[in-house]
Amino acid sequence: MTIARPLRSVLYIPGSKPRALDKARGLPVDAIIFDLEDAVSLEEKEAARDTLADALSTGGYGARMKIIRINGLETPWGRADAKAAVKMGADAILLPKVSAPSDLDALPEITGDTPLWAMMETALGMLNAASIAAHPKLTGMVMGTNDLAKELQTRARPDRLPMQTGLGLCLLAAKAHGLAIIDGVYNAFKDEAGLAAECAQGRDMGFDGKTLIHPAQIDIANAAFSPSEADVDLARRQIDAFEAAEASGQGVAVVDGRIVENLHIVTARETLAKTQAIAALAAESST
């Protein structure tokens, strides 16, 4: 069983905004994407790299996963960003607009053993999701639903119907290769009900968490992607019932009128492990 680190809330912070970089030290997020790409204007690209380096050398981000989104390697900044991100101690380097596994190939000579993550946000990237996910340095994927919507010329819908093919292909690819996969952002950052509904959809589809653009979105994502009390209670009862069934020589138990087999126990144990990992992260982040 893999006990993955919690990635329920993954907040983008523009590398060019010292105030937001400072504020993030006290926010209850599981991970931060320090952004050097689309949240930073062309004029600020070089300065943002220095601002971010200062913030990360000062520290204070605790146990939160630190992901740095660099500019594309075809841009004037990408290679220098990648080099700087390694020096800054990034836990992962996120490459935007990955359309094929070969887009990642030039990075490891700069980034060495630092894990790579891919922004999945082009039509070609959706079609190549399986081969991208198989890249040996890749450990995570992030859906870029704004760029994808732009390229597909879709309209935003609460059910995200136009996105479902792309979301599904990336989910399948990530799960098949054991990668983390994080859902796209919800742009209307003052619409709490809309965000909660989209988080619930993403959780039900199997995403590990949601990328966020504003601190007001954190609690909603954390709640949606945490096992609920009812989930934990059910997991415990399933484990107890299954162990009792096994002790009496049976391979199947029944809980709440539903059968419980070995495979459900794997899920139940993962639910308990996730709950513990969330509690451990909260404890580490508050020290």
Quick check: 39 binds ligand LIB3CWND (CB under 6 A)? yes
Q: How far is C-alpha 287 from the geometric centre of its chain's CA atoms? A: 24
Quick check: 208 binds ligand LIB3CWND (CB under 6 A)? no
Quick check: 209 binds Mg ion (CB under 5 A)? no
> What tokens appear for 183 in the block?
């859902």
> Of 219, 208, 252, whose CA–CA distance to 6 is shortest?
208
Binding mask 179-198 for ligand LIB3CWND (x = CB under 6 A): -----xx---x---------
The residue with its CB nearest to ligand LIB3CWND is: 146
Rounded to whole angstroms, how far apart are CA atoms 23 and 218? 13
Residues 48-107 that bind ligand LIB3CWND (CB under 6 A): none
Quick check: 202 binds ligand LIB3CWND (CB under 6 A)? no
> Of 190, 186, 142, whose CA–CA distance to 166 is shortest?
142
> Of 23, 27, 28, 31, whose CA–CA distance to 12 is shortest?
31
Nearer to ligand LIB3CWND, 14 or 166 (CB): 14
With contacts defined by CB under 6 A, name the span among 8-16, 43-51, 106-114, 241-249 that binds ligand LIB3CWND: 8-16
Q: How far is the CB of 67 from ligand LIB3CWND (least distance, A)?
A: 12
Quick check: 184 binds Mg ion (CB under 5 A)? no
Quick check: 215 binds ligand LIB3CWND (CB under 6 A)? yes
Rounded to whole angstroms, how far apart are CA atoms 124 and 127? 5
Residue 8 CB-half CA count within 13 A: 23
Rounded to whole angstroms, how far apart are CA atoms 196 and 223? 9
For the chain, report the end-to-end CA distance as a whole number of angstroms. 28
Q: How far is CA 21 from CA 28, 62, 115, 202, 242, in A?
A: 14, 13, 22, 27, 48
Q: Tell me if 82 sits within 8 A of 111, measured CB to CB.
A: yes
Nearer to ligand LIB3CWND, 39 or 220 (CB): 39
Surface-to-core class of residue 132, CB atoms within 10 Å of its CB (0-12 exposed, 13-18 middle, 19+ buried): buried
Quick check: 24 binds ligand LIB3CWND (CB under 6 A)? yes
Rounded to whole angstroms, how far apart are CA atoms 34 and 52? 8
Nearer to ligand LIB3CWND, 12 or 242 (CB): 12
Nearer to Mg ion, 132 or 278 (CB): 132
Q: How far is the CB of 118 from ligand LIB3CWND (least distance, A)?
A: 12
Residues near Mg ion (CB under 5 A): 121, 144, 147
Residues near ligand LIB3CWND (CB under 6 A): 11-14, 19-20, 23-24, 35, 38-39, 119, 121, 144-147, 184-185, 189, 213-215
